[in-house]
Amino acid sequence: MILYENSPLIDLKKSLSSSPPNLMNTTGLKNRIIKGISANLVSQVTNAVIQLISLPIFLKYWGADLYGEWLILSSIPIYLSMSDIGFGVAAANEMTMKIAQEKKKEALSVFQSIWLIVSIASIIFALIAILGVNFIPIKQWLNISKMTNKETIMVFSLLIIHVLAGIQASFLTSGFRCEGNYALGVHCYTASRFCEYLVLLLAITLGANPPIAALSFMITRIFFVIIVRAILKSKSPWIIYGYKYASLKNIKKLAKPALASMGFPLSTAISNQGSLIIIGSFLNPASVVIFSALRTVSRIVTQLIAMVRNTVSPEISSAYGKRDLNLVRKIHRNACQISFYLALGAVFVLLVKGEWLLKKWTVGQLQIDNTLFHLFLLIIIVSSLWYVSITVLTATNNHEKVTASYLIINILSLGLATVLIPLFNIKGMVLSLLVAEIGIAIIVIYNSLKMIKEPFFTYIKTLIIPGEVLVETKKALFH
């Protein structure tokens, strides 16, 4: 077989054999972290803006009841994202570690292997869900009264396709992440999400009903998946879709960490979406909106912490791939300290201005209990203790031990909520979430410190005493 100079096969071979950038270079590491934090800051600000402007628009044009039904319906397709069986996260970590070890061809093999199996699985699950919803009384089960049965089925089906496109987008994120282009991937995701919601909210203000709104939401996501794929191809041409380099060996190797990875988003989905469904079943759609509004505020803080976690995750994968445990410990200490002080600062601001902000944001249409709000603030503090620490486990595919506990605790918290809600109304739901957060924090911190061989009191000292990392972070963000 003759390969000409400009043959795509020759280009692919050159790309696979070329050396990856030195991801462990100190200056490069610092620059990537700064760029990553900046990109995530932009992303979280964008997400906050989306969430802040979405609620008033939904309430103004749809009302609390119809918006509550939209929240309930949109919560269910999220479970479809679990159809990747955790392989997406495990593959991203493995690809990053392979690139750190200068094994680009093996990284491509991981990508194609996991893309193939996840795409097949997600399509099968989607077809079952879309066909199944036509034969079950979903409208009655979810206590939906504002939408017709046809509208309910249409919204549900369109949102499932929206989630399917999101699964494909997650593979693109893995491609950016593994070769030091994490910040660019975040910017692409931010632009895509902003435009999705811009189109959605514009459609609503123009009088769109839920099915038309869901259709616009879905089409915009598909369009941006195509655009982002082209951007990734220009940065990492060796990442190609197909099955030539797919390997059953890779699938078997990643099966265990993949199943463990599935436990985290599954647990989060059970907690986040299950709480909406339980409140809707025990109380009413208006209560769902109140709970969702307060959780949105707490999520803004959580997203700030996630900004740190997401930035250091690929760096921990790379350091672990090089077997540099000292660097892993250093990154962990600094990241945990930043997240803790971010949470404290945010909670202080919310304690001072939270009530005023909530009244302005909800246009006075929602009556929110102060005790309920303060319970959410407690959850923020507890969450900050483990939310970044868990990265040393998840970024290195060593999280199997905490997965079962994480899942069980979240399931039990929903069971506890069914007991507490009749006694304390919405507060019962938040109390059950607080108990779950405390349990998760204990388990995660213990296992993370054990893995990186970090003494517990060193971890506590890092959290309490402000260090050089906070000064450097301030300079990076504001100078």
Residue 475's pLDDT is what?
54
Distances (CA, A) of 396 to 170, 328, 335, 349, 390: 18, 10, 16, 35, 10
Distance CA 380, CA 284 (A): 26
Res. 287: pLDDT tops 50: yes
**Percent of the chain topping pLDDT 70:** 89
Range scoring the smallest mean pLDDT among 138-142, 348-352, 384-388: 138-142
Q: Are 409 and 439 in contact (CB under 8 A)?
A: yes
User: pLDDT band at residue 203, thresholds of 50, 70 and 90?
Assistant: very high
What average pLDDT does the segment 286-309 reach?
82
How remote is the C-alpha of 311 from its chain's centroid?
13
| Torsion sign (Cα): 410, 414, 417, 419 | negative
Q: Is 85 left (phi over 0), alpha (psi -120 to 50) or beta?
A: left
Average pLDDT, the chain: 83
User: pLDDT band at residue 5, thresholds of 50, 70 and 90?
Assistant: very low
Q: Which residue has the tokens 């993370």?
A: 448
Res. 9: pLDDT tops 70: no
Per residue in 122-152, pLDDT (tens digit) is 788 888 888 888 888 888 888 888 888 889 8
Amino acid symbol at 383: S
Q: Which range has the top average pLDDT, 42-56, 300-314, 349-363, 437-451?
A: 437-451
Which DSSP string corresponds to 326-346? HHHHHHHHHHHHHHHHHHHHH
Q: Are 374 and 355 in contact (CB under 8 A)?
A: no
Q: Which residue has the tokens 């996260």?
A: 89
Residue 7's pLDDT is what?
41
Residue 472's pLDDT is what?
52
- The pTM of this model reads 0.70
Q: Which range has the top average pLDDT, 72-76, 322-326, 384-388?
A: 384-388
Per residue in 394-423, pLDDT (tens digit) is 888 888 888 888 889 999 999 999 999 989
CA proximity to 409, closest of 385, 379, 433: 433
User: pLDDT band at residue 103, thresholds of 50, 70 and 90?
Assistant: confident
Q: What is the 3-state secondary structure (H, E, C) of 207-218?
A: CCCHHHHHHHHH
Per residue in 217-266, pLDDT (tens digit) is 999 999 999 999 999 999 888 888 888 888 888 888 888 887 887 777 77
Distances (CA, A) of 53 to 124, 202, 354: 35, 12, 17
Helices (H) and strands (E) in the chain, counts: 18, 0
